[in-house]
């Protein structure tokens, strides 16, 4: 087979065969195809798209580039939730122990933060002692023992994604629905849960800026997952403003613990957890419908079982469980600066992407892939879109261990906020549920 001929075929918008796609993925993993040819292939795929067969072939070839977890020792229906990435999206830390406490095993491989959007692994690593770098066999033992394990991405699972994603990141080819689908679904199939719930973010702080593209991404995620024999569903949720109030690693851990303790149950963050949980329990046949599944999640929180499961999870992965009652044991930043309302009125904009970028400026995220993370840094926002504020009210507090980073985060944050005399229309949090 000839790489140039395959690139030209895709450039001319002619569908590729399974063999041609497998040849490209094998060449990527074995380093027999150079980055410049892979980049040209990715750009041709970005511009001309991949049809459903090609999307399945590339997903399957990526899956086969590495190992698959064998979960046959765990009899119950296993669930996994995947968010397409957002700002202050701490749902995994609340949903996973809640669902696990209800008897549904959660075996997750999560990622690090990517650009302005946070990552579960970075949040967990802000807990002193917590280990995400665990072997596949340890992960299986932990899952069998306690129904919950969250591991970092290993080089043995879907190595093709690591290679292709790092090229996509620097060649302007990230926001392609088939490439996103193959990247996400290959990893989900490799970790091998029976039920996969996709939280597809839509809005300023998401890859999908509008509802039509969010819907088509959701439909493709579901249909390709089903081709692998999985039960899949998608929730399309708004990412116009940060989901939670806290942005940044240890700050988000604190917000998750507060919700697990039964506080802030009317927040958007918890409302999304309820819906995700309801859909998960329904698809896992633990609830007769989504509403009763959401009520089971409420009970898991109110009874304290979800918090107990979270403590067990932290402990079994080496983390210090004293953080639950003493947040001062979590990393904290030395400097803080308040952002005040400069006029009286309704908050009409709290732009998620700009706030995510301001959070990266504090040191809570990475600009380069090997950047050091300031685990205590980030932003706490006191308001939501539609809230009435008076001039001088504190809208947000920005935290950083560096005075210089604090100032640049503050400068970035300024353009995220708009205040208006007229009350803006209410924002819909859950835009659609596709089961």
59 vs 246, which CB is nearer to ligand URA? 59
Please spell the DSSP secondary structure of 58-104, one letter per residue. Answer: HHHHHHTTS-----TT--SPPEEEEE---SS--HHHHHHHHHHHTT-
- Choose which of 60, 84, 126, 153 interacts with ligand URA (CB under 6 A): 84
All residues at 6 or more sequence positions from 264 whose CB lies less than 8 Å from its CB, including other chains? 255, 258, 270
Instruction: Decide: is 218 part of the binding site for ligand URA (CB under 6 A).
Output: no
All residues at 6 or more sequence positions from 164 whose CB lies less than 8 Å from its CB, including other chains? 28, 38, 42, 62, 179, 183
Give the DSSP H/E element, type plus range, for residue 199: strand 195-202
Catalytic residue among 10, 78, 82, 309: 82
Cα within 13 Å of Cα(431), Cβ side: 19
Instruction: Decide: is 183 part of the binding site for ligand URA (CB under 6 A).
Output: yes
Catalytic residue among 80, 161, 268, 298: 161
| Count of positions (residues) in the chain | 435
119 vs 244, which CB is nearer to ligand URA? 119
Instruction: Decide: is 63 part of the binding site for ligand URA (CB under 6 A).
Output: no
59 vs 146, which CB is nearer to ligand URA? 59
- Would you say 141 and 183 are in contact if contact means Cβ atoms under 8 Å apart? no
- Would you say 175 and 157 are in contact if contact means Cβ atoms under 8 Å apart? no
Instruction: Decide: is 284 part of the binding site for ligand URA (CB under 6 A).
Output: no
Supply the DSSP symbol for 112.
-
Catalytic residue among 183, 238, 294, 333: 183
Considering the complex, what minimum distance in angstroms separates the CB of residue 94 from ligand URA? 20
Bridge partners (DSSP) of residue 381 are 396
Supply the DSSP symbol for 322.
G
179 vs 47, 57, 58, 245, CA distance in Å?
11, 12, 9, 31
Considering the complex, what minimum distance in angstroms separates the CB of residue 222 from ligand URA? 16
Instruction: Decide: is 50 part of the binding site for ligand URA (CB under 6 A).
Output: no
Instruction: Decide: is 363 part of the binding site for ligand URA (CB under 6 A).
Output: no
317 vs 139, 155, 311, 419, 427, CA distance in Å?
10, 20, 10, 44, 38
- Choose which of 180, 189, 200, 323 interacts with ligand URA (CB under 6 A): 180
- Choose which of 27, 66, 85, 365 interacts with ligand URA (CB under 6 A): 85
User: Which of helix, strand or coil describes residue 301?
Assistant: helix
Considering the complex, what minimum distance in angstroms separates the CB of residue 205 from ligand URA? 13
- Choose which of 184, 200, 341, 350 interacts with ligand URA (CB under 6 A): 184
Instruction: Decide: is 33 part of the binding site for ligand URA (CB under 6 A).
Output: no
Which part of the chain contacts ligand URA (CB under 6 A), choosing from 138-146, 178-186, 230-238, 338-346? 178-186
60 vs 84, which CB is nearer to ligand URA? 84
160 vs 180, which CB is nearer to ligand URA? 180
Active site residue ranges: 82, 161, 168, 183, 187
Binding site for ligand URA (CB under 6 A): 84-85, 179-180, 183-184
């Amino acid at each position: 087979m000839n790489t140039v001929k395959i690139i030209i075929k895709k450039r001319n918008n002619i569908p590729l065969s399974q063999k041609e796609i497998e040849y490209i993925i094998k060449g990527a993993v074995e380093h027999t195809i150079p980055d410049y040819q892979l980049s040209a292939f990715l750009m041709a795929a970005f511009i001309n798209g991949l049809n459903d067969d090609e999307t399945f072939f590339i997903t399957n070839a990526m899956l086969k580039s590495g190992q698959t977890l064998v979960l046959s020792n765990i009899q119950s229906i296993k669930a996994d939730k995947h968010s397409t990435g957002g700002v202050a999206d701490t749902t995994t830390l609340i949903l996973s122990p809640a669902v696990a406490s209800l008897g549904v095993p959660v075996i997750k491989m999560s990622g690090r933060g990517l650009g302005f959007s946070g990552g579960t692994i970075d949040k967990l690593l802000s807990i002193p002692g917590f280990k995400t770098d665990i072997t596949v066999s340890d992960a299986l033992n932990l899952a069998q023992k306690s129904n919950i394990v969250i591991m970092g991405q290993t080089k043995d699972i879907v190595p093709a994604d690591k290679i292709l994603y790092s090229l996509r990141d620097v060649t302007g080819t990230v926001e392609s629905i088939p490439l996103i689908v193959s990247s996400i679904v290959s990893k989900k199939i490799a970790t091998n849960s029976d039920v996969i719930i996709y939280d597809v973010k839509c809005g300023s702080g998401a890859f999908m800026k509008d509802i039509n593209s969010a819907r088509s991404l959701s439909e493709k995620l579901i249909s390709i997952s089903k081709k692998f024999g999985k039960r899949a569903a998608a929730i399309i949720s708004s990412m116009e403003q940060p989901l939670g109030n806290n942005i940044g690693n240890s700050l988000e851990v604190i917000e998750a613990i507060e919700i697990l303790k039964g506080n802030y149950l009317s927040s958007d963050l918890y409302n999304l957890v309820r819906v995700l949980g309801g859909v998960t329990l329904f698809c896992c046949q633990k609830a007769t419908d989504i509403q009763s599944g959401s009520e089971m999640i409420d009970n898991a929180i109110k009874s304290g079982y979800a918090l107990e499961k979270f403590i067990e999870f932290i402990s079994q992965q080496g983390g210090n469980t004293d953080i639950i009652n003493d947040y001062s044991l979590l990393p904290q930043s030395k400097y803080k600066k308040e952002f005040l309302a400069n006029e009286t009125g309704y908050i009409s904009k709290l732009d998620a992407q700009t706030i995510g970028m301001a959070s990266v400026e504090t040191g809570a995220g990475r600009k380069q892939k090997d950047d050091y993370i300031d685990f205590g840094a980030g932003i706490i926002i006191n308001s939501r879109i539609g809230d009435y504020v008076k001039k001088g009210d504190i809208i947000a507090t920005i935290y950083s261990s560096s005075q210089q980073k604090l100032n640049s985060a503050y400068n970035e944050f300024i353009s995220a906020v708009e205040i208006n005399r007229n009350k803006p229309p209410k924002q819909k949090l859950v835009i659609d549920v596709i089961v």
